[in-house]
Every structure is written in structure tokens, then in C-alpha cells.
Amino acid sequence: MKNEADALARATAGEPLDVYDNRTKLWALLAASAAFVAIGVVMYDQGQQIKGALATGFFFIAGIAIALRLIDSAKPSVRFDADGLTIRRFGRSPVRLAWSDLHSAYPAAIRSQTFVCLAPRDPARMLASVPPAARAVMRANIALVGAPYVLPTAMSLNVNDLLRVVYAYAPALAAEPPDRTMR
């Protein structure tokens, strides 16, 4: 999104809004991943084989995932409209969430990273509707930030602007965050 004010105006008018990955952030993440792969190789060479191999493998796979997002970044990451939002996921079917199925949207931070969290009205139903691997990720999100859905952070709008857009489409979501015990 080139202009945050334009995004908010479109959201306020109820027009569909596509939000794209921020290519600069993705390139920075890719560079960081490459640096951690190099650190893992050095650790391996210096006798820390298990830690070095784990670091190298993890950040190599992360780097591949980031590179694939860069290749595919011409498509929107999230599409907002009057009925809800669609979160595009690389290599998997998009997730469609209706505003009426959500209880709240709120920011949550883990260390220095802030996320936009989307809490459903019926978490048990949403958890039951996804495959086991996705369910495990959603449960981890619930444990960390209190909601199973977290919007991608490497996008063209920052967290505050994303929240403004969500609240413009669905003002009722500006409620208190849910209790983290919704597991």
C-alpha cells in the first residue's frame, strides 16, 4: 500500500483493500537468515555440531520460505472487504475469516515484535476445522498472544495502520483481548 491514508479511506468506505508484503522487510529477513546460516556453519566448524547443524538447518529453511514469499510478493498477503478478510498463505489454501466470526482484533508483542491478533468467537470450532499441523500452530499462537490467527508482519502497512483498517471494516472488533485461557 503506497499510502496509509488511502488504505484507511478505502476501508472506511467499505471498498476491498489488498495489502502486500513489504519487499524491503523481506529482503532484510532474507539477509538475516543468510547471516544466521553462516553463524551456524561457523558454530559447526568450531565443535558445536548439534547447535550449528540445528541453526544452519532452521535458518536455511526459513531463508527458502522468505525467498519464496519474495518471488510470490506480487500477490496480496491480505485482502480486506466488507464481509471479512482473506489471509493468503504460500503453498496452502487461503484462510477466509468473516468479521462476524471474530470476537476481537488487538496488538500483542513478543519481545520487540508486535503482531495483529485476530480472536474468533468460537476458538474450539475454528481449531476443529483445520488440519492437525495447522491446529498445533494455532494453539501455539493462542499460548503466545491469546489468538489463533496472527496477521503477517512483513507487510506494507505497520501494525497500527493494520488495526485501523480492521477497525474501520469491523468496529466491534475493538473489544478487549480475549482471556488467554481459551485453549
What average pLDDT does the structure give for the chain?
81
CA torsion, points 75, 26, 70, 80, in degrees to nearest 10? -10
The DSSP symbol for 21 reads: B
Does the pLDDT value for residue 17 go beyond 80? yes
pLDDT in tens, 148-167: 888 877 677 788 888 888 89
* Nearest of 125, 124, 106 to residue 114 by alpha carbon: 106
Give the start-to-end residue ranges of the domains of the chain.
Answer: 4-18+98-173, 24-71
Does the pLDDT value for residue 142 go beyond 80? yes
Tell whether pTM > 0.75.
no
Distance CA 96, CA 92 (A): 12
- How confident is the model over 84-112, as pLDDT tens digits? 988 876 666 778 889 999 988 888 888 87
C-alpha cell, 67: 525467498
